[in-house]
Amino acid sequence: MRVAMVSEHASPLAALGGVDAGGQNVHVAALSAALAARGHEVDVYTRRDDEALPRVVPLSPGVRVVHLDAGPPLPLPKDALLPHVEALGRELAAALLERPADLLHAHFWMSGVAAREAAASVGVPVVQTFHALGSVKRRWQGAEDTSPPSRVSVEAQLAGSADLVLATCRDEVRELAELGAPAERVDVVPCGVDLDAFTPSGEVGGPPRHQPHRVLVVGRLVERKGVEDVVRALALVPAGAPGHALSRTELLVAGGPAETQLGLDAYARHLRDVAAEVGVGERVRLLGRVGHGDLPALLRSADVVVAAPWYEPFGIVPLEAMACGVPVVGSAVGGLLDTVDDGVSGVLVPPRDPVALAAALGPLLADDERRRTVGLAARERAEQGYGWARVAARTEDAYRRVLARTPAAAPAWPAAAPGRRHHERHHQEQA
Ligand code: UDP
């Protein structure tokens, strides 16, 4: 198959850890590479955000990144991209006429809009992965949600009109049903983890330890990732048995801008203020963004990785920690409900609850043997369900089911007129 991935703001070439560069970038790059390893050709279409970027950049064997001109060739916040999505759709359609694809796989809602525009002129099916839903974001962030106001209704339309929606966890299936997505056109395929890079054995990195125990958080420095709750929990971790010195646990936070730029980041400054206020300023260290290649070594240096989001569409970081054999204490939300087997491969606690976080962390930090057992179970769980090869095989199955259901689309290159499928979609949207 030739697959056209559409990832409007999240280029697989972007540096990770910034406000808008995280799991989706990793997902698109790794899934594309794993599909290519199964013999498919993958083109990843993304918006040009730098005029120096060549039109086509080879990413990995069988995978190319294609930059489409839509809006100014500058970095723009993802919530400012909607006005350029129509242009992106036109550019995508033109690119697909030159180099046809069997199927479009759109990542995030605005890619879905562009893919739908392009599919209407080239007549190929569209698979949609939302990565995050506006309805969930609005629920949690209320007035602070900077998404375009139309997001929720457009997502509902996309969920109703895509040939298939790939949810990344069971919790998302429930959310999609609430949006009106027909159950027979929703499948679950999780995000994955690179099981060869994220391993229990290997180099141990990160800054030298200053305390007997190390807790690590990795993620974009945005409020909903709950880092503030982890800082507050650190102050509440109970003192352990003699020799364990639990009150001397350090917290490292990876993510955000480069370390030298952290002083300019309002949220980073806020975290430092909170740490000082609750008396753990000396034991919290913000590292700034860490290169993805350096993360396995950093993860291995931790006793426990905490992922305490308010909500989480999937959460690749907990999986990366699990693959490294590091126990995870996480919020019982979204993808973590599937990836972390509570009490076996990690511990789940309610979101936004520093007291519960501390109550989970204390006993785990105090018990070396339990951490070892949980770490072993975590690696096993990652191996069994979440390697990218397995995720790519499941994705390929989903693509095949879509192609089998839409025979009209199969030979439609490149001269296909908008035709019947377009009209069907149009009716669904009017309905
Ligand atoms: N990441 C990274 N360096 C950083 C921060 C994050 O490489 O400094 C990576 C991390 O390893 C993971 C991804 O960014 O692969 C974050 O994905 P996740 O699904 O956990 O969160 P999202 O960013 O999608 O909300």
Whether 326 is in a domain gets the answer yes
Does residue 16 register a pLDDT over 50?
A: yes
Residue 113 and residue 217 in one domain: no
Reported as a pLDDT band with limits 50, 70 and 90, residue 20 is: confident
Residue 21: the pLDDT is 76
Residue 253 and residue 294 in one domain: yes
Residue 291 and residue 409 in one domain: no
Site to probe by mutation for ligand 1, drawn from 172, 220, 333 as the one with most ligand atoms within 8 Å of Cβ, is 220
Residue 12 and residue 160 in one domain: yes
- 172: nearest Cα among 153, 159, 157, 154: 159
Residue 331 and residue 416 in one domain: no
Site to probe by mutation for ligand 1, drawn from 194, 224, 311, 317 as the one with most ligand atoms within 8 Å of Cβ, is 317
- Ligand 1 closest atom vs CA 255: 8
Does residue 408 register a pLDDT over 60?
A: no
Query: Is 295 touching ligand 1 by the criterion CB < 6 Å?
Result: yes
Q: What angle do CA 264, 266, 269 make, to 5 degrees?
A: 85
pLDDT tens-digit profile of 232-277?
Answer: 999 998 755 445 555 589 999 999 999 999 999 999 999 999 999 9
* Structural domain containing residue 31: 2-192+387-430
Residue nearest to atom 5 of ligand 1 (CA): 17
Query: Is 347 touching ligand 1 by the criterion CB < 6 Å?
Result: no
Q: What angle do CA 188, 189, 191 make, to 5 degrees?
A: 130
Query: Is 315 touching ligand 1 by the criterion CB < 6 Å?
Result: yes
The CATH number of the domain holding residue 182 is 3.40.50.2000
pLDDT tens-digit profile of 52-65?
Answer: 999 999 999 999 99
Does residue 426 register a pLDDT over 80?
A: no
> How is residue 195 written in tokens?
């099981």
Whether 290 is in a domain gets the answer yes
Query: Is 198 touching ligand 1 by the criterion CB < 6 Å?
Result: no
Residue 153 and residue 171 in one domain: yes
- Of the listed ranges 18-22, 208-212, 384-388, the one predicted with least confidence: 18-22
> How is residue 266 written in tokens?
């309002």
Half-sphere exposure of 185 (CA within 13 A, CB side): 21
Residue 230 and residue 184 in one domain: no
Alpha carbons 80 and 84: distance in angstroms, whole number = 9
Whether 311 is in a domain gets the answer yes
Residue 323: the pLDDT is 98
Residue 120 and residue 35 in one domain: yes
Tell me the residue length of the chain: 431
Boundary (domain end) residue, out of 368, 385, 402: 385
Whether 199 is in a domain gets the answer no
123, 126, 287 from 419: Cα distances, Å: 8, 15, 53
- 344: nearest Cα among 382, 307, 311, 315: 382
- Ligand 1 closest atom vs CA 312: 25
pLDDT tens-digit profile of 319-355?
Answer: 999 999 999 999 999 999 999 999 999 999 999 999 9
Q: Is the dihedral of CA 262, 263, 269, 272 positive or negative?
A: positive
Does residue 8 register a pLDDT over 60?
A: yes
Residue 180: the pLDDT is 93
pLDDT tens-digit profile of 70-106?
Answer: 999 999 999 999 999 999 999 999 999 999 999 999 9
Query: Is 320 touching ligand 1 by the criterion CB < 6 Å?
Result: yes
Given a contact cutoff of 8 angstroms between Cβ atoms, the answer to whether 379 and 21 are in contact is: no
Taking residues 99-114, report their average pLDDT: 98
- State how many domains the chain has: 2
Residue 15: the pLDDT is 72
Average pLDDT of every residue of the chain: 92
